[in-house]
Structure 1
Amino acid sequence: MTTTTLEANQSYRAVLRDRRVAGLLLGDLLANAGTGMILVAMPVQTLAIHGDVPRAVAVGMVEAAPFVLSTVLALAIGLGRVNIPPRTLLVADCVLRSLTFATLGVLALTGRLTLPVLIGGLFFGATFRMAGASSRRLLATSMVDGTGRYAVNGLLGVNTTFALYIVGPVVGGLIVATTSPGVALVADAAGALILLTAVAASTSRSPSPPATPSSPATASSSAAASRASRRPRPESGWRILRRRPVAARLLVVEFFFNFLYMPIEIALPLFVRDRLDTDATGLGLMWGALGLGAFAGAALVNQLRHLPQRHLLIGIIALWALCPVALATVETLPAAMVVFALGGLVWAPFTPVAYSFLQSGLAPDEQQQVVTLWTTGSMVAAPLGLLVGGPLIELSGTAGGMVLSGALTLLLVPIAAFAVLRPRSTA
C-alpha cells in the first residue's frame, strides 16, 4: 500500500485552517450531538408505547429497524456497481433523517406515536444511514490531500466520542427528564438539517468562467477530450478487495474488533450490579469514564501522527484486548472506572488510524466502495455481536465473558500483523 510519509501528516490545527473542512466538521459535530440524544430518548420512548409487546422485544425491534434497508443499500454500493456521489448520499441522508425524526417527534409530542409507526419510520427513514456515515468520511477526506487525511479522520473520531457519547447522551437525558423524548427526536432532526447546511456550504462550487466563442477545431478537440474523460463503470468492492488483499484482511480485523467488543456491553450492567455492588449510577459512571477516556484518545490521535501507523494499529488492538481482562479482576468502582477509562483511551484511535491506513492504499475511484464496506462491516458487527454476546455471558459468566472477549481480541493481533506488515508489493 502506498502511504504518505508520516512526517508529512498535518496536525488538527493545520487542516482546520481550511474553512470548508472546518465547516463540515462542525456540522458533523452538531449532528452527532443530536444522534447522541437519541441514544437516551429512543429506549424511553419505546417503553412508553410498547403496549402488549414485551419490553425487551420492543426495544430490540426498534434498535434493529434502522439497520435493514441501510445495510442493503450500503452493500449494493460496496459490493455492487452502484455509483452515487458521496455528497448526494449525504444530502439524501440528511433530508430523509430530518423529515423522519421531525415527524416522529411531533407524533410523540402529541401522543399519537405508536410502536408500529416508530419501527416503520426508523425502517425507511434510515435508508441512507450507513451510506451517509461513510459519505461523511469520504467527503471530508476528499477536501484535503494525502497529508491531511490522517488529521481529518482523527477529528471525525473526536466528534464521535465527544458529541455522540458524551455531550449528546447527557443533554438527551436532561431533555427526557425535564420535557419529553419527543423533544429529543425533534432535536435530532435539527441536527440533520445543520449537517445538510454545512454540506451545502462546504461543497458549493465557485461560478464557472463565462463561455467564450471557440473555433471548430477547438470545439472538436473539446468533444474528443470529453469522450476521453468518460470513465467506465466503477469496479465492485468485491473485485477491489480481491485485488488488494491488505484491504480485505483489514476489513476482517475491523469487523471482529467491533464484534468481539459487544459482549462487554451485555456483561457490564451485570458486572456493575454483582461484582461492584452498585446501581444504575455506577453504570453511568462507568460509561462516563469510557467516554472521557475515548475523548482523550481521539484527541491524542493528533500527537500520534508521526508514529508508524501499521505498528500503531497492532498496538491498539493488543492494548484494548487487555482492558476487559483487567476489568474482570477488579472489585471496586473507582478501580473499574480507571481501567475502563484507559480502555477508552487506547480504543478511540483505532478507527481513525485504520481508515487512514486503508485510504492511503486506495485509488480515488476505489474509495467509496471499500470505505462503504468498512462502515457497513463495523456497524453490522454491533447487532451480531450483541446476539452472540448474550448466550456467551450466560455460559461463561460475567467475568468469564469479559476475559473471553479480551482473549479472542488478542487473537486478532497476529491477523492484523499479517494484514499490515506484509511487503507493499503484495497490496
Structure 2
Amino acid sequence: MTSPHRPASHGIPRPRVWAPLHYPGFATLFIGYSVSSLGNGMSAVAVAWLAIELAHGHGAGLLIGEAVAAYTLPGVLVALGASRVLKCLDPRLIILVDAIFRAVSLALIAGLALTDTLSPILYVSLLGCSSLFGLLGIAGDLAATTELLPSELHVAANSLNSVTSFSASIGGPAVAGVLIAALGPGLVFAIDAATYVLLAGAVLASRRYQPPTPIVKSSSAGIRDGLRALWRFPALGAITLLCVIFYGLYGPVEVAVPLYVSSVLHASASVLGGYWTVFALGATLDALGATSIQRFGLWRMTIAAVAAWGVCLIPLGFTTSAVIGFIAMSVGGLVYGPFIPLKKTIIQRSAPGELLTQVAAASGVFTVSASPVGAALGGPLVAALGARATLAFSGLATVTTALVAVAVLLAYRRRTRKLSGDR
C-alpha cells in the first residue's frame, strides 16, 4: 500500500543508519529529543511514586491511575480541536510549544513538591497541563523528520529516534530510582523540566541551521483534513487500524505480566523488572535494524513484527519457567524494535506532504488511546481468564491480526494490479 505522493519502498538504497546525523538541523533536534526522552524515562517512575507519597496511604491506586491518565490523554482531546495550531505553525514550532508547556508544568510540580505544598488535585491538574500538546508534539516530530531529511533517510531517522526512546526506558527508570531514594521525586521532575528546556533550545537552533519550509495555507480545518486522509488513502487507514489493534492487544499484557510474575512464577519484583529490561534492551538493539530490513518491504516487515511479537507471547501462557519468560521477552523486544520506525515511515511516505502533521495527529488520536484502553480492559480479562490465559489470548489474537493483515495486503495488491492492467 503506497501513495502516489511518495515513492514505493522497493528499490530504495540502504543508507547508513547514522547518515541523518550529517544534517545539522536534524542532528540538533535529535540531541534535544534524546535528552528529553531520558527525562521521560525518569518521569515514568516519578509520576507514580509522587502520587503514592501524596496519597498518604489512602487511595494510592486511584491517584496513580489519575496521574498516569493525566500525563497522556489530555493531548488527545487537544489534538481533536487543534485545527488552527496545525494550520498556522510549522512542525518544529509545534514541538517547541509542547516543550514549553511541559517544562513550565513540570517545573511547577517540582517546586511545589520540594516545598511540600503540592496537593493531589493540583498535581493531576499540572500533569494534565504538561500533556496538552503531547500528541501534537509527536505529530510535529514525525513531520519535522520529513521536512529536514530526504525520503531515503526517513527509516534511518525514525530508527534513531526509536532507539533513543527505548534506551531511555532502560536507563531513565534506574536513574530516577536512585535519585528518588536519595532526594525524593521532586528533583526528578525538576530534571525532567530541564530536559524540555534543552529540547526547546534544540528546536530553535535547528531552525537556524535549516529554516522551515513555507507553510501551505489551506481553507479547511487541519485535524479534519487528517481524519479524512485516513479514509481517502488506504495505507494511512490501514496502518492506523493495525496499530490500534496491535496496541490494544498489548494493553492487557501490561496488566497480565506483573500478575504472571507474582502469582504464577511466585517471583519477586526484580524478575518483573528484568522482564521489561530485557524487552527494552532487545527493542533498542533491533530498532536500528529497520534501516536494513526495509529493503524487504515496509509493509511486509511491519506485519512480520506484529506476528513475531504475538508468537513470543504465546509460550508465557503455557509455562511456569522464569527462564523461558526471559527468553520470550528478550526475543519479543528484538522483533518489536523495528515496528515503530517502520510504521512511522509508512505514514511519512503515504500522506500528502502538506497534510503530514494533520495526518500524524489524526492517526495518533486513535493509536495513543489504544494501549490505555487495552490496559483498562485487561483488568477484567485477567480476572476472568487468569494471567497465563490472558497472555496466550493476546499472543494468539496478535498473530491472527497479522494473518488478516497479510490477506488484506495481498488482496489490495491484486486489485491494484488488476486495475492497472485494465487501464
Whether contact under 8 Å (2:348, 2:356) holds in the other structure is yes
CA deviations over 1:218-241 (Å, ceiling 9, x no partner): xxxxxxxx9xx8654456122212
Change (3 A) 1:331 1:361: same
Alpha-carbon distance change, 81 to 37 in structure 1, aligned in 2, over 3 angstroms? closer
CA distance in 2, matches of 1:409, 1:230: 41
Tell me if structure 2 keeps the 8 A contact 1:34–1:187. yes
| Residue 184 (structure 1) aligns with | 188
* 1:255-289 Cα deviation digits (max 9, x unpaired): 11011001111111111112222111111111111
Partner of 1:70: 75
Instruction: Tell me what 1:168 maps to.
Output: 172
Which of 45, 48, 51 in structure 1 is aligned with 2:53? 48
The reply on whether 1:34 has 2:39 as its aligned counterpart is yes
Alignment partner of 1:146 out of 143, 147, 151: 151
8 Å contact kept, 1:292–1:344? yes
Separation in 2, partners of 1:199, 1:80: 17
Secondary structure of the corresponding residue to residue 111 of structure 1: coil
Distance 1:78 1:415 in 2: 34
Query: In structure 1, the residue corresponding to 2:288 is in which secondary structure?
Result: helix
Instruction: Specify the SS of the correspondent of 1:306.
Output: helix
What one-letter code is carried by the residue in structure 1 that aligns with 2:330?
A
Would you say the 8 A contact 2:180–2:188 is kept in 1?
yes
Cα distance, 1:362–1:53 mapped onto 2, change above 3 Å: same
Structure 1 counterpart of 2:306, one-letter code: I
Secondary structure at 1:192 match in 2: helix
Alpha-carbon spacing, 1:119–1:154, altered in 2? closer, same or farther (3 Å): same
The answer to whether the 8 Å contact 2:17/2:288 transfers is: no
Secondary structure at the counterpart of residue 12 of structure 2: helix
Q: What's the counterpart of residue 261 of structure 1?
A: 250
The aligned counterpart of 2:205 is 201
How far apart are the structure 2 equivalents of 1:382 and 1:315? Answer: 20
Distance 1:27 1:81, change over 3 A: closer
Q: Does 1:238 align with 2:243?
A: no
Residue 303 of structure 1 is matched in structure 2 by 292
- Alpha carbons 1:80, 1:237 under 8 Å: kept: no
Q: How far apart, in 1, do the equivalents of 2:311 and 2:210 lie?
A: 51
Counting only pairs closer than 5 Å after superposition, residues 266-281 of structure 1 correspond to structure 2 as 266-281=255-270
CA distance in structure 1 between the partners assigned to 2:211 and 2:52 by the alignment:
52
Q: Return the TM-score normalized by structure 1.
A: 0.89
Match of 1:130 in 2: 135
The answer to whether the 8 A contact 2:312-2:395 is kept is yes
**1:4-61 per-position Cα deviation (integer Å, ceiling 9, x unaligned):** 4443242212221112212211111110100110111111110111147511111111
Q: Distance in 2 between matches of 1:64 and 1:206?
A: 36
Amino acid paired to 1:186: A
Confirm or deny that 1:341 pairs with 2:320: no
Q: Which runs of 4+ in 1 moved over 6 A?
A: 78-81
Tell me the secondary structure at the aligned position of residue 147 of structure 1: helix
Q: Percent identity?
A: 25
Corresponding residue pairs, total: 407
2:63 aligned partner: 58
The 3-state SS of whatever aligns with 2:127 is helix
Q: Which residue of 1 aligns with 2:119?
A: 114
**8 Å CA contact retained: 1:246, 1:419:** no
Give 1:332's match in structure 2, choosing from 306, 312, 321: 321
Give the secondary-structure state (helix, strand or coil) at the position aligned to 1:204.
helix
Aligned partner letter, 1:26: I
Question: Residue in 1 aligned with 2:93?
Answer: 88
Deviation per CA, 1:44-99: give whole Å up to 9, x if none.
11011114751111111111123343111222348998554322221111111101
The whole-number CA distance in structure 1 between the counterparts of 2:345 and 2:279 is 23
Unaligned runs of 5+ in 1: 209-225
- Structure 1 residue 313: deviation in Å? 1.3
Hey, what's the Cα distance between the residues in 1 that align with 2:73 and 2:288? Answer: 33
* Structure 1 position 332, deviation (Å): 2.5
TM-score normalized by structure 2? Answer: 0.90
**Are the equivalent residues in 1 in contact too, given 2:255–2:379 (CA < 8 A)?**
yes
- 1:99 counterpart = 2:104: yes
Residue equivalent to 1:10: 15
The separation in 1 between residues aligned to 2:323 and 2:364, in whole angstroms, is: 34
What is the 5 A alignment of 1:401-416?
A: 401-416=390-405
Cα deviation for residue 117 of structure 1 reads 0.8
3-state DSSP of counterpart to 1:324: helix
Which segments of 5 or more consecutive residues in structure 2 lack a partner in the other structure?
none
Aligned to 1:222: none
Change (3 A) 1:77 1:230: closer
- 1:375-401 deviation per Cα after TM superposition (whole angstroms, max 9, x unaligned): 232221121111100000111111000
What displacement does 1:353 show?
Answer: 0.6
The 1-side partners of 2:209 and 2:114 are apart by 40
**Structure 2 counterpart of 1:198, one-letter code:** A
Displacement, 1:363?
1.4
Greater C-alpha radius of gyration: 1
**Structure 2 letter corresponding to 1:57:** L
Shift of 1:417: 2.3
